[in-house]
Amino acid sequence: MNLDKSTKRIAKRVKKGFQGYPQITLTYYGETPDCANEVVMGFIAEEGVAPQEQKFASKTDARTDETIQTTLLKVIERADAKTVTEAEEIVVRK
């Protein structure tokens, strides 16, 4: 799957807002606010349950890494996530 298709499909899920559980959260981290070299995907099965997290790292920007974005989409679809949220900004790690 190409990068444009996977990012558009993720964005479409994010725009729907809260639809219930299971829920997936996407948070991007980087050394600068312009380049996210890591993404943390959180999976929340139901309300009140601690999230399970999985990290994906890239040498370049993870938001433009085709492999990572395709993997994120596949996990979202396989988990049958009703809600997908995405952080608006990159969290800067020092």
- Residue-averaged pLDDT of the chain: 94
The CATH number given to whatever domain includes residue 35 is: 3.30.720
pLDDT at 52 over 90: yes
- For the full predicted model, state whether its pTM sits above 0.85: yes
pLDDT digit string, tens, across residues 9-25: 999 999 999 999 999 99
- β-strands 52-57, 91-92 pairing: unpaired
Using DSSP, state whether 27 is helix, strand or coil: strand
What pLDDT score was predicted for residue 81? Answer: 96
Q: How many domains does the chain have?
A: 1
pLDDT at 3 over 90: no
Range of the domain at 30: 3-92
